Chains A and B, each alone.
Chain A
Amino acid sequence: MTATFMAVVRRDLLLAVRQRADVANTLLFFIVVVTMVPLGVGPELNTLRTIAPGVVWVAALLAAILSLNRLFANDYADGALEQMLLTGEPLPIIVLAKSFAHWLVTGLPITLMAALLGIMFDLGVEPTAILMVSLLLGTPALSLIGAVGAGLTLGLRGGGVLISLLVLPLYVPVLIFGAGAVEAVTGGLSPQAHLMLLAALSLGTTVLAPWAIAAALRISME
């Protein structure tokens, strides 16, 4: 089971390396969206500091959504997904591996890039660190919840828009606690409660989402 998990992760990472442009698009999109905001809002530092956590988190959600159709669509089109559904290994393990690989090429780089964006918004050291921790704890939930949506909309026409409608409302708690953690720190409070809730969301989805993704994929393949 561990061997299958590792094999799927390695396979998806290898594919991500070979399809660099796709991965880079998502990350560039994230950076561009965040960079647009100061241009629109104006260079008032106090305003920027206040809105920074929310802006970074919203951009992270949008970038995650944008990358979701990459998750299963290619495997669906070339038949690799059929093979995955017909394995003697538990399907939830395979989809968990795929979501983990997806997180490694979207959630993790987004978390790292938040350090630069923190400087851009003049957030200060501690709020930037908390922003990164909140992203680190929250983005796994984005990949996993998104994978459920990706599984459900697989093979549908206009699936891209539908996926946003399905998944964005489910992202709301992650967004609230993620941005809330940074706001708490800048307001002089402890971000611990927010971070713990984020971790709980990610752990909860790690346990439950794979079953939902597996069921969604089986329905989509009918």
Chain B
Amino acid sequence: MLQTVDLECTRGERLLFAHLAFTVEAGTCLHIAGENGSGKTSLLRILCGLLSPTAGEVRWAGANIRTLREEYWQQLAYVGHLNGVKDDLTALENVRYGAAVTGRAAPVGHAREALAELALAGFDGSLARFLSQGQKRRVALARLFLAEAAKLWILDEPFTALDVRGVAVLSDLIGRHTARGGIVVLTTHQDVPLPGRVARLDLQVLEPA
């Protein structure tokens, strides 16, 4: 269970949100919506623990993530705005080393399957620099197949640059994760039908006081 308590975030001089409190139960997908600049990415980075909130705290299973640290990150898979895909590694190496760095085992067979699921079967050995933007996104998302043990997925605009089939594969993946009792928190501007139990959180752009 992911919970935020009285969360406040200021970037530069601007207040993005204040007194934000919500709870995401197991088996739920939380869709965070809002205009550009409403603080969606900042909120996701706070939920990951990359950014510290100006006030308030994020709790995982009742404990502050600042004290849980590695224990929390073991449960977390994050696909950010940046893909985290190395141009000079092949698609397969990216998936395997990506998983290894996060402390998850990634046997070759499993990594290949993950790429195949995302229609990258013939690109195992291609350097990522020769892949298109959408394909790089798929490589980043392939990590999620190897992160099934992670209970919480935080996805920042996961549908960007994906084609129709990619969107279908990903929303299916999200559906399966929530059906397993996992939690997905994501932002998207696309009108994608998300399967399973979906909650929605709207962030407003606050006028400067």
B97 and A88 form a contact (CB under 8 A): no
A74 proximity list for chain B (CB < 8 A): 86
Contact with A along B93-129 (1 / 0, CB 8 A): 1000110111101000000000000000000000100
A89 proximity list for chain B (CB < 8 A): 70, 101-103
B171 within 8 A of A: no
A7 and B100 form a contact (CB under 8 A): yes
B74 and A78 form a contact (CB under 8 A): no
B102 proximity list for chain A (CB < 8 A): 83-84, 86-89
Can you list 29 A-B pairs, Cβ within 8 angstroms, ordered by A? A3-B100, A4-B101, A7-B97, A7-B100, A8-B101, A11-B97, A15-B89, A19-B88, A74-B86, A77-B82, A78-B84, A78-B86, A78-B87, A79-B80, A79-B83, A79-B85, A80-B85, A83-B101, A83-B102, A85-B50, A86-B102, A88-B71, A88-B73, A88-B75, A88-B103, A89-B101, A89-B102, A90-B70, A222-B51
A82 within 8 A of B: yes
Knowing A82-B78, A83-B78, A88-B74, the reply to whether A94 touches B87 (Cβ < 8 A) is no
B200 proximity list for chain A (CB < 8 A): none
A87 and B89 form a contact (CB under 8 A): no
CA distance A81 to B14 in the complex (A): 26
B101 proximity list for chain A (CB < 8 A): 4, 7-8, 11, 80, 83-84, 87, 89, 94
A157 within 8 A of B: no
B76 within 8 A of A: yes
Contact with A along B10-47 (1 / 0, CB 8 A): 00000000000000000000000000000000000000
B49 within 8 A of A: yes
B180 within 8 A of A: no
Interface centre among B48, B74, B75, B82 (most CB of A within 10 A): B82
- Chain B interface (Cβ within 8 Å of chain A)? 48-52, 70-71, 73-76, 78, 80-89, 93, 97-98, 100-103, 105, 127
B76 and A86 form a contact (CB under 8 A): yes
A7 proximity list for chain B (CB < 8 A): 97, 100-101
Chain A: how many interface residues by the 8 Å CB criterion? 27
Question: Which residue of the partner chain B has the closest CB to A97?
Answer: B101
CA distance A94 to B103 in the complex (A): 10
Question: Which residue of the partner chain B has the closest CB to A19?
Answer: B88
B81 proximity list for chain A (CB < 8 A): 79
- Chain A interface (Cβ within 8 Å of chain B)? 3-4, 7-8, 10-11, 14-15, 18-19, 74, 77-80, 82-90, 94, 221-222
A14 and B89 form a contact (CB under 8 A): yes
In angstroms, how far is the closest chain A Cβ from the Cβ of B67?
A: 15
Question: Which residue of the partner chain A has the closest CB to B51?
Answer: A222
Interface centre among A19, A86, A87, A94 (most CB of B within 10 A): A86
Knowing A7-B101, A14-B89, the reply to whether A87 touches B84 (Cβ < 8 A) is no
In angstroms, how far is the closest chain A Cβ from the Cβ of B89?
A: 7
B50 and A86 form a contact (CB under 8 A): yes
CA distance A222 to B48 in the complex (A): 12
A82 and B88 form a contact (CB under 8 A): no
Knowing A78-B83, A78-B84, A80-B86, the reply to whether A86 touches B78 (Cβ < 8 A) is yes
A90 proximity list for chain B (CB < 8 A): 70
CA distance A83 to B76 in the complex (A): 10
In angstroms, how far is the closest chain A Cβ from the Cβ of B117?
A: 20
Give the top 6 A-B pairs by smallest Cβ distance, nearest first: A79-B82, A88-B74, A7-B100, A79-B84, A18-B88, A89-B103
B70 and A82 form a contact (CB under 8 A): no
Question: Which residue of the partner chain A has the closest CB to B100?
Answer: A7
CA distance A10 to B49 in the complex (A): 27
In angstroms, how far is the closest chain B Cβ from the Cβ of A68?
A: 19
Knowing A14-B93, A78-B82, A82-B82, the reply to whether A221 touches B50 (Cβ < 8 A) is yes
Question: Which residue of the partner chain B has the closest CB to A85?
Answer: B50
Interface centre among B76, B84, B101 (most CB of A within 10 A): B101
Question: Which residue of the partner chain B has the closest CB to A16?
Answer: B88
B52 proximity list for chain A (CB < 8 A): 222
